[in-house]
């Protein structure tokens, strides 16, 4: 099954990979096969760039409020597909594009990547998940040792290239940790968004 695209609340979501370098304790993938009532998002193979673009072409992109790279994997694990499909979208519509990411693109791709997002994404939402490195590792369980600092550094760098850069936490971490996360975001000069957890 290949559900590369799915629609929620008049927004088009792009599920371009199932790869991820994290194993978050609250990950939606642990609760089922889809997101908020979508068709199953487990891909039977890693789609090619052409397959992703072909799936996008089946939609009238002007009809949507937003186009979001967010599925059952970390979009920057397939950086070339992400960037090139975003370029295609930008060439055919003015609908804003967002990417939801764990912010570990530089570690995943073994190079600085923030500048590649310039003029392609209107919003980038980066998962902060927790206010301290110890808590971040416990919740996010990343494959990289220096993930917390790398994520914060990426957030600061990419904010130079993407007009709206936000850090996100899920409300299940509790009010005190949300306050601490707000302090981290303030120190980085980036907006914090508190997401509601949906089981």
pLDDT in tens, 103-144: 999 999 999 999 999 999 999 999 999 999 999 999 889 999
Backbone dihedral angles phi then psi of residue 24, each to the nearest 5 degrees: -60, 140
* pLDDT band at 28; cut points 50, 70, 90: low
Contacts of 105 (CB under 8 A, 6+ apart): 76, 79, 113, 114, 154
**pTM of the predicted structure, to 2 decimals:** 0.91
- Domains observed in the chain: 5-195 (3.20.20.70)
* pLDDT band at 199; cut points 50, 70, 90: low
Encode 27-36: b = buried (16+ Cβ within 10 Å), e = exposed: ebbeeeebbe
Task: Detail the DSSP E strand segments found in the chain.
Answer: 5-8, 11-14, 66-69, 97-101, 123-127, 164-170, 191-195
């Amino acid at each position: 099954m290949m559900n590369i695209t799915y629609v929620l609340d008049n927004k088009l979501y792009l599920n371009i990979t199932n790869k991820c370098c994290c194993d978050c304790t609250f990950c939606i993938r642990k609760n089922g096969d889809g997101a908020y009532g979508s068709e199953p998002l487990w891909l039977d193979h890693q789609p090619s760039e052409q397959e992703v673009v072909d799936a996008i072409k089946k939609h009238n992109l002007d009809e949507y409020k937003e186009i979001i790279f967010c599925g059952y994997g970390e979009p920057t694990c397939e950086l070339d597909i992400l960037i090139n499909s975003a370029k295609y979208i930008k060439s055919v519509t003015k609908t804003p594009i967002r990417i939801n990411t764990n912010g570990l693109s530089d570690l995943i791709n073994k190079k600085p990547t923030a500048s590649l997002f310039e003029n392609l994404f209107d919003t980038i939402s980066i998962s902060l998940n927790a206010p301290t490195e110890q808590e971040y590792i416990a919740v996010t369980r990343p494959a990289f040792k220096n993930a917390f600092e790398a994520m914060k550094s990426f957030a600061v760098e990419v904010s130079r290239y993407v007009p709206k850069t936000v850090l996100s936490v899920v409300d299940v971490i509790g009010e005190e940790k949300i306050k601490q996360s707000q302090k981290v975001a303030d120190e980085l000069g980036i907006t914090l968004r508190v997401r509601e957890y949906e089981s």
